[in-house]
Structure 1
Amino acid sequence: MDILIELLTNTFGIDESEINRYKTLEDMGLDSICIVELQVEIERKLSKKDGSLTLINTDTLDSILIKLDNI
């Protein structure tokens, strides 16, 4: 979870007080291009195979963690 929060704050400039594990990526202000960038950064930081993670605008931090557990 810490890596996700770090990426959202440092890469996308989202204030930590705006980050909620149940808010969708879209509700946190990310558009489709930002979501793809987030996906790539998560894969890179966690040494996951490129393209192994697929994110959509309705994903939440919780749903991303579940997806990562299944990779």
Structure 2
Amino acid sequence: MDILIELLTNTFGIDESEINRYKTLEDMGLDSICIVELQVEIERNFSKKDGSLTLINTDTLDSILIKLDDI
């Protein structure tokens, strides 16, 4: 979870107080291009194969962690 929060704050400038594990990516202000960029950064930071993770605007931090466990 900490890595995801760090990516959101450092890469997208989202204030940590705005980040909530149950908020959707869209609710945190990410558009579709930002979501693709986040996807690439997550794959890189979690050593996952390129294209192995698919994120959508309704994903939350919790759902992303579940997806990472399933890869």
With the length of structure 2 as denominator, give the TM-score of the two structures.
0.99
Q: How many residues align?
A: 71
Higher helix share: 2
Which residue does the alignment assign to 2:57? 57
- Cα RMSD (Å) of the superposition? 0.3
Deviation at 1:12, TM superposition (A): 0.1
Superposition misfits of 4+ residues, deviation over 4 angstroms: none
Residues 51-71 of structure 1, C-alpha deviation per residue, up to 9 Å, x if partnerless? Answer: 000000000000000000000
Which residue does the alignment assign to 1:35? 35
Deviation at 1:35, TM superposition (A): 0.1
Residues 17-57 of structure 1, C-alpha deviation per residue, up to 9 Å, x if partnerless? Answer: 00000000000000000000000000001110000000000
Cα separation, 2, equivalents of 1:19 and 1:46? 20
With the length of structure 1 as denominator, give the TM-score of the two structures.
0.99
